Amino acid sequence: MTKISVPLHINGGFTGYTDRLDKLRTAIRVLKADHLNQLLEDEVFEFTSSSIYNNKINSFAWGLWHDPDTEQRGPVKNRDKALSGYERAQELLSANPFPANQLESKIYGIRKRDVPNYINTRIAALRRGEGREGENRGREDRERNDRERRGN
């Protein structure tokens, strides 16, 4: 399990991702464990080298939680990260679709039968540049998360 997968396994999504990343940075600094910085790439954990990268549900979650047009809270909204997650989930689902007996069950409120279409729609929208205002929503989410942590 990589650090990137901790909030996924605890919460079923990436709620708390940014908070946990901040705590890791603090721990590295306080413990003078600079060698752990090799786990970080540009101050974030790299999706493509994480344990979640080869899992269709986890990759879908990465896209969903980073998508500027979704309500999931946790990481900063980021169009490129959302695309990475959705595109990887698309690849994995093409190679290994959900079994027929699971198509009516839901994941993150979406029937598994509908997940491939949802992914295709979001990829197309993000590639067209729709949802860029979500970067502001990401900032608003961070501010709301900060207020909640402070108890305001």
Give residue 1's pLDDT band: very low, low, confident or very high (50, 70, 90).
Answer: very low
Tokens of 59: 């990759």
Which ranges of the chain does DSSP label H, i.e. alpha helix?
A: 6-11, 17-30, 56-66, 79-95, 115-127, 134-150
- pTM, full prediction: 0.65
Residue-wise pLDDT tens digits, 37-67: 665 555 556 788 878 899 999 999 999 999 9
What is the three-state SS of 17-30? HHHHHHHHHHHHHH
For residue 81, give Cα distances in angstroms to 1, 7, 122: 20, 17, 12
For the chain, what is the mean pLDDT? 78
